[in-house]
Structure 1
Amino acid sequence: MPYIHKFLELNVRTYVKYKNIPGIYFFSLDAAKILPVLGARLGALPYYKAKMKESDINGWTEYYSRRQIKTDEETYFKGRYKQISKPEFPASGTLDYWLFERYYLFNTVNGNIIRVGIHHLPWKPAKAAVTYEKDALNSLLPGTLQGETVKAHYVEVLDVIFWLPELIKVHKKDS
């Protein structure tokens, strides 16, 4: 499917465990094409359509994303990155291995926890240098980022297969 095969995307996430199962929790995902956004929203992921640009300038990749939704405040990201090491598979037991070897996505919908299984080949990350506008990044977060990013990676595109979302816990609502 040529239209949805390749598109710019930006995700803001954290790393979680549920019942000792490591996974990723997405605060948000922005994408430049509407079909992947609609499909992901059906799968309970917090995707948003965004106007996005990527360009290479003096060895850096400049990246910009602005959500195309009407809110009181602009939600956007503006930053740049560059690869600063050769890619290599993370060694088992390292922080990088812990960060990359995740095969579940978690989300909450109406107080329920949703789990989505994923499959991909092992990631082969390189170290990266990153600079960004802190106010822009904070516009994507549910709170405010304090301090500076201490660890950044660059990875080549990797195909990922998703399973259907699964309801794994229901929170009872108080009366």
Structure 2
Amino acid sequence: MSTNTALEALSKEQLIELVELCSKNLIAIDGTWFQSVEDECGMDAAMHHDERAWQRFTVSEAKRLKRFLDLPERAGLDGLEAALALKLNTLSSAADVRYEGDALVYRVVECRVQAARARKGMVLHPCKSVGLVEYAGFANAIDERITCECVSCFPDVVDETCSCAWRFAIDDEA
């Protein structure tokens, strides 16, 4: 493993700030390419490519976090909770995780993407279909028994206290 001397010179506080900055930058580049496709080809084409990109990226992100956290093959909801805490979206947006019975609920309280689109006077991103690809794929890469259900996400918002919410559960028959 190679090290970067510039990183080694940073304090813990600076490293934390850098991680937050990098996660925001990665979400920004995701939005930049999406808006480019949206402007040139329309929302349907942009959504198609967004779903394909997240289908591949989310599995890669989950597998890397799983290795980083040294999670077992079937990490369960506790493993998912640990991985969600370090997910790019969590690091770049305000989010929380809580248990509701046997399920884990992940809520993006304030989404950077939707906030940026609102600031620019753009229509909100219809992210439910992409969210299903992203969060189901992420959870499945952590543990293939985990199922994902959308609780609330634009355009189907039923919880006004957050930008989106996802419920994860273990399917013991999987």
Q: By percentage of residues, which structure has more strand?
A: 1
TM-score (norm. length: structure 2): 0.27
Greater relative contact order (Cα < 8 A, sep 6+): 2
